[in-house]
Structure 1
Amino acid sequence: MRHYLFIISILLLFTACKPTSSIITSKDVAVKKGIYTQPVASKTTTVKSKKSQKEYTNRQTAEASSPKKTPLINDQNESDIIIDNEDSNYLISQLIHTASDNLGVTYRGGGTTKDGFDCSGLMYSTFKKFDITLPRSSHQMAEVGKPVDVQEAKKGDLIFFINRGQRRINHVGMIVEVNGDDIKFIHSSTQSGVIISSLKESYYDRTFKQINRVIQ
C-alpha cells in the first residue's frame, strides 16, 4: 500500500508545470518568430554598479529641489534597475525582456535564479527586479491584481492554470504576446524549463484557469 501511495505522489508532483510541447525555447527563436523584441537601449534604463550607485546618490542630492520625478529603485538586489519612465507599457516591456533573458534555463523546484526556476520562481524573480514583490506560490499570486477576461488579456498579465490531479492553481506564466485569440506566455515547465507556449495548445487550453492584471 505504501509503495502504491508513493507512486501516486510522484506522478502528482510531475503534473505541476507540465507542458505538452515547447513553442519557444530560446530568445533567438523568440526574436525570429516575432514573439519577443528586445527593448532599445535608452538613457532611462541602467544597471547600477557601485560607481553608478554613487553617481546616482550624488545626482539625487543635486536634484533634490527639482520637480523632476525620482527614479524607481529596487535597493534589495545586487543588480538594481533604475527606471525614469514610469509608463506601464515601458515597464511591461522590461518585465518581458527580463523574463525572456531566462529562456532555456532548466526547471528547478523552488528555484529563483539562472541555476533553475520553478514557475512561480520565474515570476517572483522577474517582478522583484523592479521592486514588485509577488507572493512566492502560484496559487497566492492568483489572488494579486485584477482578474480580467481572456478577451481582454494584455502583455504583462499573469496567466494561471490548474494542472491535472490538482484542486487549486499550481502553475503560472506571464503573457508576452496577444494576437487575436492566440495568447503566448513565458513560463517554466518541469520538462523543458523556461519556454514560451501558446494557450491554443490543447494541454494549456484544458488546464487554463484565469488571467490577472498586476500592472495597470
Structure 2
Amino acid sequence: MKQQLFLFISLSSFIIYCYVKANDTSPVVPVTIKLSKTEKVIGFANSFLNTPYRAGGTTKSGMDCSGLVQTSFKEIDIKLPRSSAEMSDFGNAVSWKNIKPGDLLFFNIERLEGNINHVGLVTEIAKPDIYFIHSTTKKGVITNSLQENYWATSFVKAKRVIN
C-alpha cells in the first residue's frame, strides 16, 4: 500500500510539474555571449578545419596558410597582407615564453622559397604545448603543436597583432 501511495504521489507530482512547465509564460531571455577579438579570430579559423589545401585559396573549397590567417583576421576587421613573409612584418615581436592564443607563428620550411614561407595562428596554450592552426599542402587546415620537432626546428618568430 505504501508503495502504491508513493507511486501515486510521484506520478501526480510529475504530471503537475509538466502541466505548469507547459503553461509557463515567463519570457525567455536570450543570453548574449561577448567574445573577445582573440576568441572570434580563433573560432573563425577553426571553422576551416579539414578544409583542403589550395594555393591562393581563401574559402572552404580550398585554403593556403596565409589565406587562412588573412581571412580569419579580416573577420575582426584587421587587414593583413596576403603573404606570410609580408605578414611577419606586422605586429609586435613575442618571445617563445610569452606566446599566447591569437599570436602568429612564422616558419621557414626548407623545401619552400624565402626565409619566412609559412604562418600559423596560435589557438591554445597547454604548457609546454603551443597549439596552432594552419594549412598544409598534404592535410589542408589542421592543428599542430609547436613542440613537434618539425615545427620547432622550422620556427622563426612569433608576432602579436591583437593587442
The answer to whether TM tops 0.5 is yes
Q: Which protein is bigger by CA-based radius of gyration?
A: 2
CA distance in 1, matches of 2:118, 2:52: 16
1:194 equivalent in alignment to 2:141: yes
Structure 1 segments of 4+ aligned residues over 6 angstroms from their partners: none
CA distance in 2, matches of 1:183, 1:123: 17
Matched residue, 1:101:
47
Aligned-partner SS, 1:204: helix
1:155 equivalent in alignment to 2:117: no
Aligned-partner SS, 2:37: helix
Q: For 1:121-161, what per-residue CA distance to the aligned partner results, in whole angstroms no more than 9, with x for missing partners?
A: 00011111221110000000000000110000000000010
Q: For 1:21-64, what per-residue CA distance to the aligned partner results, in whole angstroms no more than 9, with x for missing partners?
A: xxxxxxxxxxxxxxxxxxxx9536xxxxxxxxxxxxxxxxxxxx
Work out the number of aligned pairs and report it. 133
Which of 164, 168, 171 is 2:118 aligned to?
171
CA distance in 1, matches of 2:65, 2:80: 13
Matched residue, 2:9:
none
Counterpart amino acid of 2:89? E
Counterpart amino acid of 2:55? G
Matched residue, 1:7:
none
CA distance in 2, matches of 1:42, 1:137: 39
User: Which stretches in structure 2 are left out of the alignment for 5+ residues?
Assistant: 1-29
Counterpart amino acid of 1:43? T
Matched residue, 1:43:
32
Q: Which moved more, 1:110-119 or 1:176-185?
A: 176-185
1:185 equivalent in alignment to 2:132: yes
Instruction: Report the TM-score, using the length of structure 1 for normalisation.
Output: 0.59
1:134 equivalent in alignment to 2:80: yes
RMSD of aligned alpha carbons: 1.6
Instruction: Report the TM-score, using the length of structure 2 for normalisation.
Output: 0.77
Counting aligned pairs with the same residue, the percent is 44
CA distance in 1, matches of 2:143, 2:81: 22
User: Does the aligned pair in 2 maintain the 1:151–1:181 contact within 8 Å?
Assistant: no
Aligned-partner SS, 1:123: helix
CA distance in 2, matches of 1:213, 1:125: 16
Superposition deviation, residue 178 in structure 1: 1.1
User: Does the aligned pair in 2 maintain the 1:148–1:213 contact within 8 Å?
Assistant: yes
